[in-house]
């Protein structure tokens, strides 16, 4: 006997807004399956507003409301049982972030949770990421977004250190990053990884997912530092238009991919990592897992 439900996760980032619809299949005596049913991505670059002006522009606020109303209808059409919408650094730093969130709730009925870096890391940690963390290996998890980069060091199967840096792709494009922040991230990585041998990276984010997809590698196989470095050189050798036409990139990916790759390469260099694994796990996946875990916890309370 199967119990099948659909869950929805809305990720409001600095570069884009995403709706992930996942089918959750409970099987008696077996592990629950989480299948990605649909992913809709709208490139509303909130960070371009916030990191320059400190607020979300009226035009982008209108686009957000339209997008969230569309997401509400899509979730209704899919028959979503549970959903959660989370906003990260751009809305968190916007002076009118809470006001826009209220407008969206009034128009669409969708409540937005504006979360901090620690919350974001905790949500992502609830995904299948833990299945990748082997007890006898050391991994530096690097999640690069438009507004920030989240770092978590895993050793002996445990989370031993984590930190969030306001070093994101959109923020870098808009030249809103103090150069000393690179030094601070370098110092943190070197300090936390000191004493460990053979460290590997786990990369998360739309940019590294795009690079991995274009590499032709099979899921589960890593990208090497040499490959990523060569790809970075190629990106820099092409114009914005050429990255769109020759590399078949979306317009909102063709610019942010360069600073994102620089962040991943820097993290690999400072941690002495030779490989980066790309499991295609992000905030949306974590939201789905969190919703399911909450459901199970509630059922256990009722039955206890």
> What is the mean pLDDT of the segment spanning 80-90?
96
Question: Does residue 301 register a pLDDT over 90?
Answer: no
Where helices occur in the chain by DSSP H, the ranges are 46-53, 58-78, 89-93, 97-108, 117-125, 129-132, 169-173, 180-193, 206-215, 225-237, 240-245, 257-271, 283-303
* pLDDT the model gives residue 136: 77
Question: Does residue 300 register a pLDDT over 90?
Answer: no
* pLDDT the model gives residue 20: 98
Work out the widest C-alpha separation in the chain, in whole angstroms.
62
Q: How confident is residue 304, by pLDDT bands cut at 50, 70 and 90?
A: low
Question: Does residue 263 register a pLDDT over 70?
Answer: yes
Q: How confident is residue 90, by pLDDT bands cut at 50, 70 and 90?
A: very high
Token pair for residue 100?
């826009």
Is residue 181 a contact partner of residue 163, using CB atoms and an 8 Å limit? Answer: no
* pLDDT the model gives residue 121: 78
Token pair for residue 288?
């789905």
Task: Set out the domains of the chain in order of their start, with CATH numbers.
Answer: 2-118+284-303 (3.30.420.40), 128-281 (3.30.420.150)
Question: Does residue 152 register a pLDDT over 80?
Answer: yes
Element (H, E) at 160: strand 158-165
Question: Does residue 128 register a pLDDT over 90?
Answer: no
Is residue 260 a contact partner of residue 205, using CB atoms and an 8 Å limit? Answer: yes
DSSP label at 203? E
What's the pTM?
0.91
Q: What percent of the chain has pLDDT above 90?
A: 83
Render pLDDT for 104-126 as a digit per residue (tens, 0 to 9).
Answer: 999 999 999 999 988 887 888 77
Rounded mean pLDDT of the chain? 93
Is residue 63 a contact partner of residue 107, using CB atoms and an 8 Å limit? Answer: no
Is residue 151 a contact partner of residue 140, using CB atoms and an 8 Å limit? Answer: yes
Render pLDDT for 161-199 as a digit per residue (tens, 0 to 9).
Answer: 999 999 999 999 999 999 999 999 999 999 999 989 899
Q: How confident is residue 288, by pLDDT bands cut at 50, 70 and 90?
A: very high
* pLDDT the model gives residue 130: 65
Q: How far apart are CA 34 and CA 196, in angstroms?
A: 34
Token pair for residue 31?
């592990």
The distance of Cα 243 from the centroid of its chain, to the nearest Å, equals 22
3-class secondary structure, 52: helix
3-class secondary structure, 110: coil
* CA dihedral over 214, 217, 220, 222, signed as positive or negative: negative
Q: How confident is residue 219, by pLDDT bands cut at 50, 70 and 90?
A: confident
């Amino acid at each position: 006997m199967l119990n099948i439900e659909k869950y929805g996760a809305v990720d409001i980032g600095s570069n884009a807004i995403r709706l992930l619809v996942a089918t959750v299949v409970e099987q008696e005596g077996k592990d629950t399956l989480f299948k990605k049913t649909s992913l809709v991505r709208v490139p509303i670059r909130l960070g371009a507003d916030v990191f320059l002006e400190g607020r979300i522009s009226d035009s982008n606020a209108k686009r957000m409301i339209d997008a969230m109303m569309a997401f509400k209808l899509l979730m209704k059409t899919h028959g979503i049982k549970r959903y959660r919408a989370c906003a990260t650094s751009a809305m968190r730093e916007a002076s009118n972030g809470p006001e826009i969130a209220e407008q969206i709730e009034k128009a669409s009925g969708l409540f937005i949770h504006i979360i901090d870096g620690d919350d974001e890391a905790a949500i992502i940690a609830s995904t299948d990421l833990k299945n990748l963390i082997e007890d006898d290996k050391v991994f530096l998890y690097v999640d690069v977004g438009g507004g920030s980069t989240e770092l978590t060091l895993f050793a002996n199967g445990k989370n031993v250190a984590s930190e969030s840096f306001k070093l994101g792709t959109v923020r870098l494009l808009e030249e809103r990053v103090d150069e000393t922040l690179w030094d601070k991230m370098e110092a943190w990585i070197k300090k936390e990884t000191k004493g460990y041998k053979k460290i590997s990276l786990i990369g998360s984010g739309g940019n590294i997912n795009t690079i991995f997809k274009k590499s032709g590698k099979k899921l589960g196989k890593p990208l090497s530092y040499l490959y990523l470095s060569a790809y970075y050189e190629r990106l820099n050798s092409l114009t914005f238009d050429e990255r769109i036409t020759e590399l078949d990139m979306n317009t909102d990916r063709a610019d942010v991919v360069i600073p994102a790759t620089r962040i991943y390469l820097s993290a690999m260099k400072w941690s002495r990592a030779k490989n980066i694994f790309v499991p295609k796990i992000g905030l949306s996946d974590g939201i789905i897992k969190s919703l399911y875990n909450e459901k199970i916890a509630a059922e256990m309370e009722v039955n206890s």
